[in-house]
Amino acid sequence: MYILLLSLKMAWQNFATAKLRTFLTVLGIIIGIASVVIVLSVGNSAQNVLLDQVRQIGSNKIAILPGAAADDGPPAIAFGVVSTTLTTGDIDLLRNTTNFPYIESVAGYVSTTKIVSYRSVNKSYEIQGASPSVVRVEDLDIVLGGFYTDADNASAKRVAVIGADVARDLFASETPIGKFIKIGSANYRVIGTIARRGKSFAGNFDETIYVPLLTAQRNILGINYLSFARLSVTDESRIPETEDDIRTLLKSRHNIPQDEEGDFSVRNIAAAIDILSKITNVMKYFLVTVASIALVVGGIGIMNMMLITLNKRVREIGLRIALGARSRDIALQFLVESVAISLMGGAIGCAIGYGIAQVVGIVATSKGLAWTVSNDLSVYGLAFGIAGIIGIVFGIYPALKAMRVSPMEALRYE
């Protein structure tokens, strides 16, 4: 312990005599550790926000997505692949309570983005074409007016139900009910407004305009297929059974053998959360790997500094050995200095990373996201531990080289 404390004291004295060189050496470690902390902390926070948004959809929800996908992989729609295999006729059969007793409500969806106008105001909004049952599937709270009906959908009526921000932006203090807004080149009568729901990574729910599904398919998009469908079940424990029944029905309708993969995928919220967790973890740790390159550069800087220091302290080493210092004491001195530099950079990097993570949290909160900064101590422990390992790994070679210095040659060294 005495030798270790003495080595630390000498290391501090050496740092003090070469402040600029020490700072430039430790800078690489600072940048690398700060990057690791920021990626992990902000990544964890972003992942939590994203997963919380998915959980808010409800644990009793099932989604049907067009396009084949492996059970443990992301659906085709996640890669921007457009598939036309899911139709309104498919989901209409799911409303048969005899064959699907646990399905509570089911809705089909299509979506696009359009410029919406009211008087002199023009703004781009997401247009969601959805079955009338979407109000039950998504638990929409109508604060003014009402929602469109099955009759409105069957006749492709041009009516709209608007989100809270749409009502504020277009109508200000006016009552929107009964007013006409222009979506594209056609007029739509506003029949209801939705209570504020907030933002998510998927977008701002309050900037969404709902129109009847058939209206969106015929008059806005000119298509006859669905982007996806979503349904709610009465009993969560029946989700696996309901999913199997859905797969059986759709394979039969699409003339696909039951033992083959379908041209669709059926997912529940638990599966979606698991897939999102895997995707975000892969992205997070990939970014950590990239950020760690700066640590390698910093480690090389430490090794370079220690080698330069060794050349300048050869005579000191010879004198210490002549006075009784063992070779391992010399090696320990250099290793302690290397680790001390790295840990110093790790501490400063953790502090900088913490500060930037807090700033990101403040900005995200100001943008309306339900952001909670992740202050997981394991993140800082991991970052500090990595700094220590970098100091040891890149300090071993200079330490071994110092240990092999010959006392006689060192004392003759000029």
Confidence band for 333, pLDDT divided at 50, 70 and 90 = confident
Confidence band for 159, pLDDT divided at 50, 70 and 90 = very high
Residue 202: predicted pLDDT:
58
Alpha carbons within 13 angstroms on the beta-carbon side of residue 122 total 5
- As given in the structure block, the two tokens for residue 92 are 């209409």
Mean pLDDT of 300-314: 73
Residue 127: predicted pLDDT:
96
Helix (H, G, I), strand (E, B) or coil at 376: coil
Residue 21: predicted pLDDT:
63
pLDDT digits (tens, 9 = 90+) for 206-234: 999 999 999 999 999 999 999 999 998 88
Residue 2: predicted pLDDT:
43
Confidence band for 405, pLDDT divided at 50, 70 and 90 = low
Mean pLDDT of 385-393: 85
Mean pLDDT of 182-198: 92
Residue 57: predicted pLDDT:
65
Neighbours of 224 (CB within 10 A): 13
* pLDDT over 70, % of the chain: 79
Confidence band for 113, pLDDT divided at 50, 70 and 90 = very high
Residue 310: predicted pLDDT:
67
pLDDT digits (tens, 9 = 90+) for 44-99: 887 777 777 666 666 678 889 888 765 555 555 555 556 788 999 999 999 888 88
Q: Extract the runs of DSSP E, i.e. beta strands, from 202-360.
A: 203-204, 208-212, 228-233, 264-268
pLDDT digits (tens, 9 = 90+) for 254-297: 888 888 888 888 887 766 667 777 777 777 778 777 777 777 87
Residue 343: predicted pLDDT:
84
Residue 412: predicted pLDDT:
56
Residue 3: predicted pLDDT:
47
CB 77 within 8 A of CB 264: no
Partners of residue 332 on adjacent β-strands: none
Residue 82: predicted pLDDT:
66
Residue 334: predicted pLDDT:
73
Residue 194: predicted pLDDT:
95
CB 253 within 8 A of CB 264: no
CB 117 within 8 A of CB 182: yes
Residue 410: predicted pLDDT:
54
Q: What's the whole-number average pLDDT of the chain? A: 81
Output 261 or 183, whichever has higher pLDDT.
183
pLDDT of 239 over the 80 cut: yes
Residue 209: predicted pLDDT:
96
Element holding 192 (H helix, E strand): strand 186-194
Which backbone phi and psi does 264 adopt, to 5 degrees? -155, 170
CB 286 within 8 A of CB 317: no
CB 180 within 8 A of CB 187: yes
Residue 141: predicted pLDDT:
93
CB 63 within 8 A of CB 76: no
Alpha carbon distances (Å) from 333 to 5, 242, 317, 339, 399: 10, 68, 10, 10, 8
Mean pLDDT of 370-377: 77
Output 75 or 109, whichever has higher pLDDT.
109
pLDDT digits (tens, 9 = 90+) for 313-324: 666 666 666 666
Residue 220: predicted pLDDT:
94
pLDDT of 388 over the 90 cut: no
Q: Mind spelling out the 3-state secondary structure of 262-273?
A: CCEEEEEHHHHH
Tell the burial category of 389 from Cβ atoms under 10 Å away from its Cβ (0-12, 13-18, 19+): middle
- As given in the structure block, the two tokens for residue 388 are 């220590």
Confidence band for 129, pLDDT divided at 50, 70 and 90 = very high
Q: Where are the domains of the chain?
A: 2-54+275-412, 84-262
Partners of residue 162 on adjacent β-strands: 193, 209
Confidence band for 183, pLDDT divided at 50, 70 and 90 = very high
